[in-house]
Structure 1
Amino acid sequence: MWLNENTLLLGKKVVLVPYTSEHVPRYHEWMQSEELQRLTASEPLTLEQEYSMQCTWREDADKCTFIVLDAEKWQAQPGTAEEGCMAGDVNLFLTDPGDPTLGEIEVMIAEPSCRGRGFGTEAALMMMSYGVTRLGLTRFEAKIGQENEPSIRLFQKLHFEQVAVSSVFQEVTLSLAMSELERQWLLEQTSHVIEKPYRARSPEPH
C-alpha cells in the first residue's frame, strides 16, 4: 500500500517500518521454515518470487504491511541495516470490496529470539490503531490455524472473540467491532506510539 511507504511507527518494544526490498532476503530465509509455513498456511517461494511479492505489498491498495523490528536493537545501533533488527511482520488485508471498514489482521513474530516478549501484542495494537486512524477501519478479523494457540490467545487478549471455525481450512475466525469504548481503549494502549517519516533514524530524546 503506497499510503504507508514513508511511515515509521515507533513503539516501546517494536518499530514498524514499510516492507522494502532490503528486508526480502531475511524474510525469505524465515519462510523456508516448515513451522512458519504451517502456521501461516503459506507455500515456500523462490527469492525472485519473494521480491515480486514485496512489490505487490507496496503497490496493492488492499494490502497494508509493516516489517516488525526489535526496537532495542534498532535504537542501539543507529544506521545499522534493518535486516539485522527484523523480528517479523504485521499485515492488514482489506478483503471485502463491499465493506471498506473491515480489515483482516495478521501478525507473525518469526525470529525465535523475539518470541514471548510481547512483540506480537504491541505490533498488533499499533497496526490496529493505524487501521482505525489512517484507514477508517471499524472492524477487524483474524483467521488463525486451529493449532496456533499462541496467536489465538494473543487476539483474545486484544478483545477479539471467536465467531467461526472452519474444519476444511482448520482455522478459527476471531472478530472485533470497534465500539467507542473499544476505540478509546485501543488509542490509550497506543498513546506512546510516535509516527515519523521513514528513514529518519535518529533516536528519540529521553
Structure 2
Amino acid sequence: MRVNEDTVLRGQRVLLVPYEPHHVPRYHAWMKSEELQKLTASEPLTLSQEYDMQRSWREDSDKCTFIILDAIQWDQGYPEEQCMVGDVNLFMVDPENPALAEIEIMIADPKFRGKGYGEESVRLMLYYGATTLGISTYQAKIGQENTTSVRLFSRLHFEEVSLSTVFQELTLHWKVTTAERLWLLDATPVTVETYSKMKRSGTELRD
C-alpha cells in the first residue's frame, strides 16, 4: 500500500517500517522455516517470488504491511536488516466494506518471542489502521493450536466469532467503538516519523 511507504511508527520496543526490497533476503530466509510456514499458512517461495510479493504488498491498495524492527538495536546503530524481528499486515478483505481489515502478526526471530514485541506491534498497527486508514472492524484468523496468538488478541479485546472445524481456525473480531478507540489511544504510546528521514539519520549514525 503506497500510503505507508514513508511512514514509521515508533513504540517503546519496536519500530514499524515499510517493507522495502532490502528487507527481502532476510524475510526469505525466515520463510524457509517449516514452523513459520505452518503458523502463517504459507507456501515456500523462491527469492524471485519473494521480491514479487514485496512489490505486490507495496502496490496493492488492499494490503498494508510493516516490517518490525527492534528499536533498541536500531538506536544502538545496528544495520536495519539486523534489527528485523518480524512483520505485521493488514488485508482489506471485503471490497464492499473498506472499513473491515484482517490483521496478521509474525515474530519470526524466536529470541524476540514472549517479550511484548508482538503485542506492541499489533497495537501500533491497530492504531494506524484506525487513525489513518479508516478501519472500524478488525478480524484475526488464527489456528486453534496457536494458543499464544489467541491469548495475545484476547488481551487486545478481540472476541471469538466463529470456529472452522474444517480448517481448525478461529476467527476473532474487534470493533473500534468510541470507548475502544479511546482505550487504544491511551494504551499505545506512538510517535509517527518519516522513513526517508529515519534512513538518512541512520546512515549518518553509522558513518
Normalized against structure 2, the TM-score is what?
0.94
Question: What is aligned with 1:103?
Answer: 101
Structure 1 residue 200, shift from structure 2 partner: 2.3
Question: What is aligned with 2:43?
Answer: 43
**Does 2:202 align with 1:196?**
no
Aligned pairs (5 A) from 1:1-206? 1-77=1-77, 80-190=78-188, 192-201=189-198, 202=201
- More helix per residue: 2
Q: Matched residues in 1 for 2:56 and 2:93: separation?
A: 15
- Residue identity opposite 1:173 in structure 2: T
Structure 1 residue 122, shift from structure 2 partner: 0.3
Deviations 1:174-201 (Å, cap 9, x if unpaired)?
Answer: 00111110000001112x2111110323
Structure 1 residue 169, shift from structure 2 partner: 1.5
Q: Matched residues in 1 for 2:137 and 2:177: separation?
A: 9
SS of match in other structure, 1:121: helix
Stretches of structure 2 lacking an aligned partner (at least 5 in a row) = 203-207
Kindly tell me the number of residue pairs found equivalent between the two proteins.
Answer: 200
Structure 1 residue 98, shift from structure 2 partner: 1.2
The alignment yields a C-alpha RMSD, in angstroms, of 1.0
SS of match in other structure, 1:103: strand
Deviations 1:140-160 (Å, cap 9, x if unpaired)?
Answer: 000011111101100000000
Structure 1 residue 81, shift from structure 2 partner: 2.5
Question: What is aligned with 2:205?
Answer: none
Normalized against structure 1, the TM-score is what?
0.95
Stretches of structure 1 lacking an aligned partner (at least 5 in a row) = none
